[in-house]
Structure 1
Amino acid sequence: MLTGLWQVADLEREGPTDVEAAAAAMDAYTAAGFTTFDMADHYGSAEEIAGACASRAPHRDGDMQLLTKWTPAPGPHTPATVREAVERSLDRLRADAIDLLQFHAWRYADPSWLDRLFALQELKDEGLIRHLGLTNFDAVHLDMACHTGIDVASNQVSYSLLDGRAAGAMTEVCLRHGVQLLAYGTLAGGLLTGRWLDVEDPGPDGVKTWSEMKYRRFVEAAGGWGRLQVLLAAVRAVAMKHGVSMANVAARAILDRPAVAGVIIGARLGHREHIADNLQLSSLKLDAADRKTLAAASRPLDPIPGDCGDEYRRPPYLTAAGDLSHHLDEFPSPYPVRTGSGGRMRVDSGTVWEDLAGYSRAVRTGDRIAVSGTTATHGDRLVGGDDPASQTHFIIDKIEGAIEALGGRLEDVVRTRIFVPELADWEPVARAHGQRFGGIRPANTLVQAGLIGSGYRVEIEAEAHVGRQT
């Protein structure tokens, strides 16, 4: 069990935190054996508090694990700005190396997320980061990062009896690559505890903390307050059977899932603590009947939309504010746009082939956008390794970014053409194409053809008509 410090930022809405007093409040957790703390660069003064606690006399021998996150604004970053961000966290944590640095990417159509990840890998190799993790990555892009050679230790995602997205493709990817899941939202901001059992829906104005605001949106997405009460009743039945709290049951149910290395339980330092209750989790063992009871109560819930992390990337935004206003002002263009005569617009993606052969990644004339044959090249790197599906997904990311830069959307695509050098690759490539275009259904052709360059398993070109009827 990890102690989460997101609520430091929530508490600081009412005023600044006394860092030393909050650090002293952490001593009760470490004394009970809860020595791993999860935070982020944007959780108010959480890093400073954790650093102050770790530097206190009882902990100077390094008995604490401090996990943090870097959630940079979208857009270009240089290796120097990545180093600056890591060193800023190191200063706050009063540490020589970060135990686990978890990286968040806001969007995948902008390939600059890869540049940041490559720079973090270099800092890990240098020793400033002990372990490199991800947070809120979906299964496709976790798989892509691993195939590209990033040394990923973990992925932190929302995972609870209310939100089971991580149980499918995400778990499969983690088991395949040896990546561990760190589950947050396991108690749904407290909504999966006895405090809310047999309580009427408080409505959006009846929840006060950011955590409650956020996870009430999850409840709505899952089918509403009535279905939550059915789930809570099942959790209570299992809790009464074992003589533990409902929180223990909700947390244990996720901790027992494949690939899950830990669950993150939030703390309001100096305000609300559940240390004694949390200690019971280690001795709780759920049996097959318990799991059947919980599964039956979860089954009627509507699936949370999308894949892991999509609540931060596309509507419905299941955040405290219901949008991204607490996080971002805007998204920059994935690629710079150049305008020529007659209103002709074009974008380049920076591959060596574009200058060599004298072409653009994409060109827009009127409402038509034509995207050149695209491979899984980013700068001088091949993304996705030797995996045809990962290469396909990155290619579609590049196509989406080029179309977005020129004012369109992936949904505007009316034609794709796929070229594979090895016919045996047609199925993983076609399945990846179907995963991304299944709701769009453009015209498509797939052919076997030789590709220029080594390592390429697939090349795709596309055409989009902006403003077409959908």
Structure 2
Amino acid sequence: MAGHVNMMDDVLISQLPPDILKSSLRALVSQNSAAQKIFVEHVRVLLKASLPAYASPSELFGDKPCYAQFLASIRCLFTSKMAIESFPYIPLAHAQWHPNDPLFSALKQACGDIVQAIQALKETRPKSTEELRERLLSLSNAISNCESYCLSNSLHFPFARAQLQVVDALQLIFPDAHLRQHHFNRVTNATGTMDVNVDGSTYDILEHIQLGPLKVPRILNGLWQLSSPAWGTASLDKQHTDFEQLIRVGFVATDMADHYGDAELVYGAFRNQLAPEISSKVIACSKWCVFGPPAKPVTHQFVLSAVMERSRRLGGRVELLQFHWYDYNAKDYLRILVELVKITKTHPHLVSAIGLCNFDSQHTEEACQHLLQETNEIGIVSNQIQYSLIDTRPSIKMEAVCQKFGIKLLTYGSFCGGFLSDKWLNVNAPNVYSEQAQLTPSQRKYFDMINNWGSWDDFQALLRALRRVATKHNVDIANVATRWVLDRPSVGAVIAGTRAGISNNSLSNLKTFSLTLDAEDTKQLNGYALGTNRAQMLYNQIGDCGNEYRQ
């Protein structure tokens, strides 16, 4: 039956308006992993058969510029896992522009394209061929040439993030590569460091917890949004400005991961330009995520190399390294955890504390018992999981395990991708796959969670309850949702997604710490979150914490 398309479906596909066709395709590939693989492979075959034609600078940036269409064709290459093939096409313009020029906006977007193309390359762990070395070096040199051109013509350099990412790929794949030194640097004070001070008046408002040796605010900045330009693209300058604002109000802990695009590189570049007395207060929480069988035997050196890679990308110590494992039946993860805990003692300049990421209750307990047996200490300070008024699965077993072993929960999804806010009160359910909805990947993800939890009418009832509590305490709905999670047993901190350089909710998030839910508030919210056996229903439907990432 290969190649057969139902005749009526064929007519439908050929006649549908583009926006409906795109929406339908998004729905298909998001709900069917087999269809997603077929879709990408089919696209790859067609693209390989008709690679884009090279365009000269005069064509790209001339009287009738075509760089927008050209960039779109490049995106199709690297997003369909043809990263290496996309490199020769990436244009770096030598042309005059000004900050409000459409060309400058396109170049900033092209910078994000390079970041994503290199990230796609790194995640495939390619062979270190001479052809790949030459292509990466050529791209690196082109970026450096563009930087020199910008400096000599007093132009803003738009490729700073791309520069960090390309250099990192070369260091990762070709450690012996000779790289040209780049000159890009943020505007700093005379000592060459950023002059950022923590605002004592707001810092005192924050609540803190202890994670092993770390004193951490109970709201962390989350950089998942740097995984994709779907949340928007910002320059390194704008990202650093937002990080400065977060530190000023006391949000000094930031969560990222090895696969969150260039998050570690961006944050490391920022942290290492801070004055020493400020950078010593900054807490970098990253992750080592193993999504498949390791390519090498699990030895001490294998684990140490993974830690060193995170430290290298951050340009210094990882204060909290969180570990994710793909398959509990493959017990190497227990040995890895033992080695990680030992490395915090033998290499404290590389990593301070160890946590888990998306571990379920049974295997969190198994890991703690194994560490006690092998090292005479728990050694794990946290587990990062999803927890919100919508997803209350941790209340079934996880909270009890954490209390037993003294582990704190770092929770994501506590805002449900922004759905737990006034913006969504008294509005109809969105069509999450349509162009017009303009939803982010996180909103699509958490919309599914809402549907698992209840109907959109049920969700509206919860938002109305949150609004009543928020009005009573003169805060926002998001503050109430956050406060409820923070008040749950064993919850240490909530991770607030940060669209660095695009939006900043630090002042709004501060209001969470001025809010105390009384018994009436808590009882009312518990009725929506935990009542009618919702937690057990989700647990039965999805599984324990993190199970959705192992199905």
The TM-score, its normalising length taken from structure 1, stands at 0.64
CA shift digits 1:416-445 (9 cap, x unpaired): xxxxxxxxxxxxxxxxxxxxxxxxxxxxxx
Contact 1:12–1:44 (CA under 8 A) maintained in structure 2:
no
Q: 2:221 aligns to what SS in structure 1?
A: strand
Equivalent residue, structure 2, for 1:89: 310
Q: 1:148 aligns to what SS in structure 2?
A: helix
Q: CA deviation at 1:228?
A: 1.3
More helix by share: 2
Contact 1:25–1:269 (CA under 8 A) maintained in structure 2:
yes
Task: Look up the equivalent residue of 2:267 and give its one-letter code.
Answer: A
Identify the match of residue 278 of structure 1 among 497, 509, 526: 509
Q: Distance in 2 between matches of 1:274 and 1:44?
A: 22
Correspondence 1:30-45 to 2 at 5 A:
30-45=247-262
CA shift digits 1:152-185 (9 cap, x unpaired): 1000110000011112311111111111111111
Q: Distance in 2 between matches of 1:227 and 1:174?
A: 30
Q: CA deviation at 1:14?
A: 6.1
CA shift digits 1:287-344 (9 cap, x unpaired): 0000011012222444252111011112xxxxxxxxxxxxxxxxxxxxxxxxxxxxxx
More strand by share: 1
Q: Distance in 2 between matches of 1:240 and 1:24?
A: 32
Q: 2:429 aligns to what SS in structure 1?
A: coil
Q: Distance in 2 between matches of 1:204 and 1:21?
A: 29
Contact 1:101–1:132 (CA under 8 A) maintained in structure 2:
yes
Alignment partner of 1:174 is 2:402: yes
Contact 1:75–1:112 (CA under 8 A) maintained in structure 2:
no
The TM-score, its normalising length taken from structure 2, stands at 0.54
Q: CA deviation at 1:12?
A: 6.6
Contact 1:180–1:260 (CA under 8 A) maintained in structure 2:
yes
Judging changes above 3 Å, is the alpha-carbon distance between structure 1 residues 217 and 141 closer, same or farther for their aligned structure 2 residues? same
Task: Look up the equivalent residue of 2:283 and give its one-letter code.
Answer: Q
Judging changes above 3 Å, is the alpha-carbon distance between structure 1 residues 207 and 295 closer, same or farther for their aligned structure 2 residues? farther
Judging changes above 3 Å, is the alpha-carbon distance between structure 1 residues 140 and 37 closer, same or farther for their aligned structure 2 residues? same
Equivalent residue, structure 2, for 1:7: 225
Alignment partner of 1:225 is 2:456: yes
Equivalent residue, structure 2, for 1:55: 272
Contact 2:418–2:443 (CA under 8 A) maintained in structure 1:
yes
CA shift digits 1:90-141 (9 cap, x unpaired): 112111x311000011221122322332332232232232110001001110
CA shift digits 1:233-256 (9 cap, x unpaired): 111111011010000000000101
Judging changes above 3 Å, is the alpha-carbon distance between structure 1 residues 220 and 27 closer, same or farther for their aligned structure 2 residues? same
Equivalent residue, structure 2, for 1:292: 523
Task: Look up the equivalent residue of 1:267 and give its one-letter code.
Answer: T
Task: Look up the equivalent residue of 1:284 and give its one-letter code.
Answer: L
Alignment partner of 1:155 is 2:383: yes
Equivalent residue, structure 2, for 1:124: 344
Q: CA deviation at 1:258?
A: 1.2
Correspondence 1:156-305 to 2 at 5 A:
156-205=384-433, 206=437, 208-298=439-529, 299-300=531-532, 301=534, 302-304=537-539, 305=542
Q: CA deviation at 1:89?
A: 1.2
Equivalent residue, structure 2, for 1:136: 358
Judging changes above 3 Å, is the alpha-carbon distance between structure 1 residues 224 and 113 closer, same or farther for their aligned structure 2 residues? farther
Moved more, 305-314 or 284-293: 305-314
How many residues matched? 312
Structure 1: state its 5+ residue gaps.
315-470
Equivalent residue, structure 2, for 1:112: 332
Contact 2:255–2:495 (CA under 8 A) maintained in structure 1:
yes
Identity %: 37
- Taking only aligned residues, the RMSD between alpha carbons, in angstroms, comes to 1.8
Alignment partner of 1:25 is 2:242: yes
Judging changes above 3 Å, is the alpha-carbon distance between structure 1 residues 51 and 295 closer, same or farther for their aligned structure 2 residues? same
Judging changes above 3 Å, is the alpha-carbon distance between structure 1 residues 86 and 28 closer, same or farther for their aligned structure 2 residues? same
Equivalent residue, structure 2, for 1:68: 286
Q: 1:104 aligns to what SS in structure 2?
A: strand
Structure 2: state its 5+ residue gaps.
1-218, 372-377
Q: Distance in 2 between matches of 1:2 and 1:193?
A: 19
